[in-house]
Amino acid sequence: MESILITGSYGQLGIACIKYLKSNFKLFISGRIVPNNGMQLDITNEKTVDQVLAETKPDIILNLAAMTDVDECENDPSMARAINVDGVKNLCNGFKGHFIQISTDYVFDGRAGPYSESDKTNPISVYGRTKLDADDWLRANHLGTTILRTNVLYSYTKLTQASFVKWVVDALSERKHIHVVDDQWNNPTWTESLAPLIENLIKVKAFDLFHYGDADRMNRYDFALIIAKVFDLDTTLVSPISTADLNQIAPRPLRSGLKTEKIESALGIVPNSVETCLEKIRKQLFK
């Protein structure tokens, strides 16, 4: 049985990947802040990374560790680079196996999305710049790399700490009024759409760059309305707002999203619709 070292395992994508990969692979589950007896691995600490790699000798590294708070990255660019770029280099130091990196549509400027793998990158935030630098470094330096770019990942399980869907459902359940941007376009992606794809990419050793987002491209306000409808919550509590009015620290790509034809033909898959994914989440939560 092949083994996988997962970094950043306790984030939202990590929870889904563990669920899907645990039957067919030996997993080394690591994180920066870990529960009792968990494997502690801060990818910015070169020495710890070397020790963990020497102890576990994984066949595959699935790197889910990242500084994902886009505004925090803008506030602390050196930390963003230490985690999102240098952390990747640390993991590859001496590692010759299959490296899977999860990247983002934030490598694009959001003027002309949705984007395919061959479109020109042009990040407009520190987060996007650091993720692109890691993609470029991996493509130039680590032969056995799969880069999977995705966008607006969401989940809601009993273990989920932060996610757009959780935020919307929790706020509307408490009858709080929320404002959601209506000028940021993406194809929101359920972590449990992505996790089985990652397993497939590992199995076929797809050393390439792929884009994946679920089937429906929409703005964030419309996404919030669909969430409210599926969870039987009051849609009138959701109001639109523009990105400019939010005054966020980091600029966001507005007309973004990802085209998925390449991964569809490589793996023979059909992207899930957002409504189907939300229905499944609702059933899992309330079963």
260 counts as binding ligand NAP under rule CB under 6 A: no
- Which of these segments, 3-11, 18-26, 203-211, 241-249, binds ligand NAP (CB under 6 A)? 3-11
Measure the CA–CA gap between 201 and 4, rounded to whole angstroms.
13
CB of 233 to ligand NAP, least distance (A): 22
Q: 21, 52, 61, 68: which one contacts ligand NAP (CB under 6 A)? A: 68
- Which of these segments, 47-55, 65-73, 112-120, 243-251, binds ligand NAP (CB under 6 A)? 65-73
Please say which residue, 238 or 257, places its beta carbon nearer to ligand NAP: 257
92 counts as binding ligand NAP under rule CB under 6 A: no
Q: 5, 6, 13, 27: which one contacts ligand NAP (CB under 6 A)? A: 13
Tell me the chain's radius of gyration from C-alpha atoms: 18
150 counts as binding ligand NAP under rule CB under 6 A: yes
Measure the CA–CA gap between 87 and 144, rounded to whole angstroms.
17
104 counts as binding ligand NAP under rule CB under 6 A: yes
Measure the CA–CA gap between 83 and 43, rounded to whole angstroms.
7
44 counts as binding ligand NAP under rule CB under 6 A: yes
87 counts as binding ligand NAP under rule CB under 6 A: yes
Please say which residue, 67 or 92, places its beta carbon nearer to ligand NAP: 67
213 counts as binding ligand NAP under rule CB under 6 A: no
212 counts as binding ligand NAP under rule CB under 6 A: no
Please say which residue, 151 or 228, places its beta carbon nearer to ligand NAP: 151
10 counts as binding ligand NAP under rule CB under 6 A: yes
Please say which residue, 102 or 238, places its beta carbon nearer to ligand NAP: 102
151 counts as binding ligand NAP under rule CB under 6 A: yes
19 counts as binding ligand NAP under rule CB under 6 A: no
CB of 56 to ligand NAP, least distance (A): 15
Buried b (16+ CB within 10 A) or exposed e, 236-273: ebbebeebeeeeeebbbbbbbbbbbebbeeebeeebbe
Please say which residue, 75 or 175, places its beta carbon nearer to ligand NAP: 75
Applying CB under 6 A, which residues contact ligand NAP? 7-8, 10-14, 31-33, 41-44, 64-68, 83, 87, 102, 104, 131, 150-153
